[in-house]
């Protein structure tokens, strides 16, 4: 269904060399005058656990999950500090996956015998987002400004993408033939994106306005794909994967094109994790310098976000969300001398505390 | 317990640590303290160690810029190292356990930190070949694999990536059909490398590192039930062992690390955790290894706060006696064993201690029982045993034998060994040998390969003899 076009991130020899030189210069000593983002330190999280960082909403608040004081907690990353967010009562494990501009959050947390989705409003009132009738578990991954939420319900029938209305009622999203589906995000007009398993692996899908699932396809040579974010005009981003699991950042734009967003010089693995209404895309890419947070813009293509901030002792490895004002949430760690080991797909940076940052465009306010 | 309380509890041990923790130069009283021996340095520091059914050790690396797609075979008798077939992808940070026929089942692996592979494979040690199994539902980085009573393999947890977190769907690899069964009614958030054990009722119990203790019924589409909560709190990078049928020791871990230990007896009508004596040293990144005499050896780890505090290595080994529930401090290792270290029981009764980031030199610990006299000898051990089977072994030491144990062969990584467990077997002395009764069912001893030990009245074990328990057909040269 989609037309394929070469993305602005596609590498050419001259571009690779230039990018490499630019990266090297920027990472050694980025002159403050070149900084296009002001970096705000939001939090430092314990290492040794998979950290989830998502968002960011119009108010500059990001969300996620990590270990705090030993326990796995849902988190709000605000400029005023880190806030723990509990899901269902008594949960021993919570993650917040999305926040809307009204400050309502959704996520997943453990009930005694299964994961349950939850929605918590800005005032702190929380409610469970129940699974489909007959199912036992649910997780909410996305919420829009109409208080609709999307995610998955699972039970004897498998895992199915669902949509919760503002009143909390749940409905299954029309399926595709196969072994299950999951929804990851939605915009204010009700376009839901995610993936469906057709028996041969995940395929990126969109449910436009709650309609039937449309397969988005994958980049040539890539067998599987997943859509993880959608902007107000219906541009969708995510990744395509090959049989080894290696990901490639992918844009499915509203015009129906499928675009390879490429990877940084020296890297192969990339993923697009967020997209603004202006079409600015954030994500991560491996590179000759290791894993790096990235920004794709229609005008300037693929850039290492580390080259767009003032010299720092930290390395930004993933940018996971961007709001309509262009404010980006990213995470990384303190720079270590062997970061370049990541080019081999290995490093020991998961032994370092995780640093979470807000990147505010110069002249803008978070 | 709050971190502050935990630190206060650990303070005495921290203050004593400088006196206690320097490597002990003296190896004099080996019959009391055991002995550490430094072995030939390896080309990498292993992160994943497995005792294969042939008695040799399979290792593979990861971290520090090295791919896990490089398994090697280490011979305990000669310390020689040889190349093995490669899986063809990075199995660093995978989960693994042995299937009933002796093949190693490997789930997940490493794409990036926090980003797991959905792949799964089987390693056939007879054919030295990797066989691809179907992909899982999604990636898993730091999953736990548990061999079930029927020989299938449960996979839980493991990180998908940094936008979704851990994989909440438990899956069962059905060995007979080489297919997956999704436990879609049992989706649950679990920590990385959760500590899982098959309980005597056949359910799989999660005992850590999260304090909530739950049991998973793996039939159908699965169902969790709540058991209770362990006492200490979150035991990140602690360890746990099933030291007897249904009895689990949970020890160490946390940040700052704890020296506390607790036990639970799953055979009780209402199982509950209770504290047992603490170790002399607080530790995280430790390894706990079952020994042939039924004791538990704890090695390595770090006693200082932080994820992997390299300035506070815990060198002394400690031995927990389940009969007295007390600890004895043993000889000190020379090499710090911290994050990514592993320990495993060898058939000869020694414990191989490997790795820790940047530590390519392994050591072997010879427990005190190896210095307490002549070892019992046995012969005529059947290569395969059925559940409840009475079988004979020949030994001229029958009159001195006080205990017969089965210890499942090891598959260990990241401070937890999901494959090891111990059964104490009933036996009677016969003319020229022993008649021994094999475990009753897969619930108390999942099918697969075990080390059979005879232990005499001085606590001295025989050399372990590898037996295959259950009804699975043996592997052949032809890879399947």
- Write out pLDDT tens, residues A263-275: 999 999 999 999 9
Closest to B184 (Cα-Cα) out of B132, B236, B137, B149: B137
Q: What pLDDT, on the 0 to 100 scale, is given for residue A10?
A: 34
Return contacts of A8-14, CB within 8 angstroms, 24+ apart.
A8/A259, A8/A261, A8/A262, A8/A296, A8/A298, A8/A301, A8/A302, A9/A249, A9/A260, A9/A261, A9/A262, A9/A263, A9/A270, A9/A296, A9/A301, A9/A302, A10/A260, A10/A262, A11/A262, A11/A263, A11/A265
How many Å is the Cα radius of gyration of chain A?
19
Kindly state whether A248 is in contact with chain B, defined as any CB-CB distance less than 8 angstroms: no
Q: What pLDDT, on the 0 to 100 scale, is given for residue B418?
A: 87
pLDDT level of residue A16 (50, 70, 90 thresholds): very low
CA distance B259 to B155: 29
Kindly state whether A247 is in contact with chain B, defined as any CB-CB distance less than 8 angstroms: yes
CA distance A264 to A279: 19
Contact B216, B182 (CB under 8 A): no
Residue A188 maps to a domain = no
B67: nearest CB among A136, A344, A351:
A344
A351: nearest CB among B186, B254, B308:
B308
Asked whether the predicted pLDDT for residue A366 surpasses 80, the reply is no
The tokens for B172 are 């069962």
- Residues from chain B that touch A157, judged by Cβ atoms under 8 A, are 184
Mean of the per-residue pLDDT values of chain B: 93
A48: nearest CB among B110, B211, B236:
B236
B255: nearest CB among A70, A271, A351:
A70
Judged by CB atoms closer than 8 Å, whether chains meet at B162 and A114 is answered as no
Q: How many CB pairs (< 8 A) connect A and B?
A: 176
pLDDT along chain B (480 residues), means of 10: 45 43 56 97 97 98 89 98 97 97 97 91 98 94 98 97 94 97 97 97 96 97 97 96 98 96 97 98 98 98 95 98 98 97 98 96 98 98 96 97 97 92 97 96 98 98 97 61
Q: What pLDDT, on the 0 to 100 scale, is given for residue A245?
A: 81
High-pLDDT (> 90) share of chain A, %:
68
Whether this model's ipTM surpasses 0.90 comes out as no
Query: Residue A312 is part of which domain span?
Result: 7-83+279-366
- Residues from chain B that touch A184, judged by Cβ atoms under 8 A, are 163
State phi, psi for A170 to the nearest 5 degrees. -115, 140
Give strand ranges (E) for B266-325. Answer: 274-276, 287-290, 296-299, 316-321
pLDDT level of residue A31 (50, 70, 90 thresholds): very low
Judged by CB atoms closer than 8 Å, whether chains meet at B224 and A228 is answered as no
Kindly state whether A130 is in contact with chain B, defined as any CB-CB distance less than 8 angstroms: no
Residue A197 maps to a domain = no
Mutate to test the interface with B, among A70, A345, A347 (most CBs of B within 10 A): A70
Kindly state whether A178 is in contact with chain B, defined as any CB-CB distance less than 8 angstroms: no
Instruction: Tell me the β-bridge partners of A71.
Output: A68
Q: Which of residues 337-376 of B touch A (CB under 8 A)?
A: 339, 357
Could you tell me which CATH class the domain B3-370 is placed in?
mainly beta
CA distance B112 to chain A (A): 6
Residue B465: its H or E element = strand B465-469
Using CA atoms, how far residue A64 sits from A55, A56, A123, B324, in Å, is: 8, 10, 18, 45
Q: What's the full length of chain A, in residues?
A: 366
Q: Where are the domains of chain B?
A: 3-370, 375-469
Superfamily (CATH) of domain B375-469: Immunoglobulins (2.60.40.10)
- What is the tally of structural domains in chain A? 1
The tokens for A172 are 């299954």
A320: nearest CB among B162, B165, B168:
B162
Q: What pLDDT, on the 0 to 100 scale, is given for residue B431?
A: 93
């Amino acid at each position: 269904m989609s037309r394929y076009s070469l993305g602005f991130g596609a590498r050419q020899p001259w571009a690779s060399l230039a990018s490499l030189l630019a990266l090297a210069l920027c990472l050694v000593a980025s002159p403050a005058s070149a900084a296009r983002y002001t970096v705000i330190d939001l939090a430092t999280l314990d290492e040794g656990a998979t950290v989830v960082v998502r968002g960011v909403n119009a108010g500059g608040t990001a969300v996620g999950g990590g270990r705090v004081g030993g326990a796995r907690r849902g988190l709000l990353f605000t400029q005023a500090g880190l806030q723990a967010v509990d899901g269902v009562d008594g949960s021993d494990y919570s993650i917040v996956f999305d926040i809307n501009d009204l400050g309502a959050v959704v996520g997943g947390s453990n009930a005694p015998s299964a994961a349950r989705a939850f929605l918590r409003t800005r005032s702190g009132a929380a409610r469970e987002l129940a699974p489909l009738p007959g199912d036992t578990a649910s997780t909410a991954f996305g919420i829009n400004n109409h208080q609709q939420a999307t995610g998955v319900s699972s039970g004897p029938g498998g895992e199915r993408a669902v949509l919760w209305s503002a009143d909390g009622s749940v409905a299954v999203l029309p399926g595709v033939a196969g072994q299950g589906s999951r929804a990851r995000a939605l915009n204010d007009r009700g376009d839901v994106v995610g993936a469906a398993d057709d028996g041969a692996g995940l395929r990126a899908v969109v449910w436009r306005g709650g309609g039937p699932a449309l397969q988005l396809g994958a980049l040539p040579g890539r067998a599987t794909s997943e859509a993880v974010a959608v902007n107000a005009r219906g541009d969708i981003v995510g990744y395509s994967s090959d049989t080894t699991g290696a990901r490639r950042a992918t844009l499915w734009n509203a015009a129906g094109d499928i675009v390879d967003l490429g990877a940084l010089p020296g890297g192969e693995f990339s993923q697009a994790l967020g997209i603004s209404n202006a079409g600015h895309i954030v994500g991560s890419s491996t590179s000759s310098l290791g894993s790096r947070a990235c920004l794709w813009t229609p005008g300037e293509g693929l850039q290492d976000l580390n080259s767009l901030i003032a010299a720092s002792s930290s390395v930004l490895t993933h940018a996971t969300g961007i709001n309509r004002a262009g404010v980006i949430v990213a995470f990384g760690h303190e720079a270590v001398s062997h970061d370049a080991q990541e080019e081999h797909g290995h490093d020991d940076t998961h032994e370092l505390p995780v640093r979470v940052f807000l990147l505010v465009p110069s002249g803008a306010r978070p | 317990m709050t971190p502050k309380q935990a630190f206060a509890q650990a303070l005495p041990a921290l203050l004593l640590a400088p006196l206690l923790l320097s490597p002990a130069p003296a190896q004099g009283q080996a019959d009391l303290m055991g002995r550490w021996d430094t072995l030939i340095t390896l080309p990498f520091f292993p992160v994943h160690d497995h005792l294969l059914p042939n008695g040799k050790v399979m290792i593979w690396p990861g971290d520090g810029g090295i791919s896990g797609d490089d398994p090697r075979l280490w011979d305990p008798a000669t310390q020689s190292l040889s190349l093995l077939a490669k899986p063809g992808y990075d199995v660093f940070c995978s989960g693994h356990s042995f299937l009933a026929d002796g093949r190693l089942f490997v789930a997940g692996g490493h794409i990036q930190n926090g980003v797991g592979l959905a792949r799964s494979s089987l390693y056939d040690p007879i054919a030295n070949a990797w066989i691809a199994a179907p992909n899982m539902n999604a990636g898993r980085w730091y999953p736990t694999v548990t061999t079930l009573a029927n020989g299938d393999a449960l996979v839980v947890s493991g990180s998908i990536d940094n936008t979704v977190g851990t994989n909440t769907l438990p899956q069962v690899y059905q060995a007979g059909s080489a297919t997956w069964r999704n436990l879609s009614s049992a989706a649950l958030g679990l920590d990385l490398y959760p500590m899982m054990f098959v309980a005597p009722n056949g359910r799989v119990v999660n005992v850590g590192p999260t304090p909530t203790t739950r049991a998973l019924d793996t039939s159908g589409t699965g169902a969790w039930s709540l058991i209770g909560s362990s006492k200490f709190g979150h035991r990140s990078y602690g360890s746990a062992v099933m030291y007897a049928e249904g009895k689990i020791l949970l020890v160490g871990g946390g940040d700052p690390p704890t020296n506390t230990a607790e036990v639970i007896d799953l055979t009780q009508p209402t199982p509950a955790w209770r504290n047992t004596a603490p170790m002399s040293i607080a530790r995280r990144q430790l390894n706990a290894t079952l020994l042939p005499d039924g004791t538990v050896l704890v090695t390595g780890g770090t006693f200082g706060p932080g994820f992997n505090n390299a300035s506070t290595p815990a060198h002394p080994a400690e031995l927990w006696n389940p009969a007295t529930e007390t600890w004895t401090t043993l000889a000190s290792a020379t090499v710090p064993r911290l994050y990514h270290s592993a320990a495993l029981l060898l058939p000869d009764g020694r414990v191989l201690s490997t790795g820790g980031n940047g530590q390519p030199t392994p050591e072997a610990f010879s427990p005190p029982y190896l210095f307490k006299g002549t070892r019992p000898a046995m012969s005529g051990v059947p290569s395969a045993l059925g559940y409840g089977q009475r079988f004979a072994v020949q030994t001229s030491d029958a009159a001195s034998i006080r205990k017969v144990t089965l210890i499942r062969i090891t598959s260990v990584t990241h401070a937890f060994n999901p494959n090891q467990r111990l059964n104490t077997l009933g036996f009677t002395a016969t003319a020229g040998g022993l008649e021994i009764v094999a475990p009753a069912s897969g619930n108390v001893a999942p099918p697969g390969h075990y080390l059979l030990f005879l232990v005499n009245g001085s606590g001295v074990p025989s050399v372990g003899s590898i037996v295959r328990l259950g009804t699975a057909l043996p592997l052949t040269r032809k890879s399947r």
